[in-house]
Structure 1
Amino acid sequence: MEMTAVDERRMTELFENLEVPEGVTIELLRGEIVMMAGPDLVHNRIVRSVALQLPSDRWEWLMTQDIDILSEQSEPVPDLVVLGSDAGPESGRLLPSEVVTMLVEVVSKNSVDRDYGIKRSIYAAGKVPAYLIIDPIVAHCVLLTEPVGGGDEADYTVQRITKFGDPVPLDLLGFELDTSEFKTLPGVRPHRRP
Structure 2
Amino acid sequence: MVRPVEERYRAVRDLFPELRIELVNGRIVVNEPGTWQHNTIIAQLLAQLAPLVAERGWEIWPNITVHLDEETDRYVPDLTIVPREPAMATDQAVRGTSTLLLVDVVSAGNAYDDHVVKPMGYAPAGVPLYLVVDPFQQLLKLHSEPEPSGYARETVEPVGAPLPLPDPWDCLIDTSGLLRI
Q: TM-score, normalised by structure 1?
A: 0.81
Matched position secondary structure for 2:80: strand
Q: Where does residue 179 of structure 1 map in the other structure?
A: 175
Shift of 1:88: 4.6
1:126 corresponding residue in structure 2: 125
Let me know the Cα RMSD of the aligned residues.
Answer: 2.0
Structure 1 Cα separation of the partners of residues 3 and 95 of structure 2: 18
Cα distance between partner residues in 1 of 2:124 and 2:143: 13
Alpha-carbon shift at residue 122 of structure 1 (Å): 0.6
Extract unaligned runs of 5+ from structure 1: 1-5, 186-194
2:65·2:93 contact (CA, 8 Å) conserved in 1? yes
Kept in 2, the 8 Å contact 1:137–1:184? The answer is no
Q: Say which of 9, 34, 56 aligns to 2:29.
A: 34
Deviation at 1:9, TM superposition (A): 1.6
Tell me the residue number matched to 1:16.
10
Q: 1:99 and 1:51 mapped to 2: Cα distance?
A: 20
Secondary structure, counterpart of 1:120 in structure 2: helix
After TM superposition, give the deviation of residue 95 of structure 1 in Å.
1.0
- Kindly, what percent of the aligned residue pairs are identical? 28
Deviation at 1:139, TM superposition (A): 0.9
Please report how far the alpha carbon of residue 111 of structure 1 lies from its aligned counterpart in structure 2 after TM superposition. Answer: 0.9
* 1:72–1:125 CA contact under 8 A, matched in 2: no
Letter in 2 for 1:61: I
SS at match of 1:117: helix
Instruction: Give the C-alpha shift of residue 21 in structure 1.
Output: 7.8
TM-score normalized by the length of structure 2:
0.86
Instruction: Report the count of equivalent residues.
Output: 173
Unaligned runs of 5+ in 2: none
Q: Any idea what SS the aligned residue of 1:125 has?
A: coil
CA contact (8 A) 1:30 1:72 kept: no
What residue number does 1:51 align with? 46
Change (3 A) 1:137 1:72: farther
Tell me the secondary structure at the aligned position of residue 153 of structure 2: strand
Deviations 1:28-80 (A, max 9, x none): 12432112222221111111121222212223211011111115522110011
Change (3 A) 1:132 1:72: farther
How big is each residue's C-alpha offset from its partner over 1:72-128, in whole Å with a ceiling of 9 and x where there is no partner? 522110011112234355x81111112012111111111110101110101112111
Point out the more displaced range, 56-65 or 100-109.
Answer: 56-65
Q: Distance in 2 between matches of 1:105 and 1:159?
A: 15
2:101 matched to which residue of 1? 102
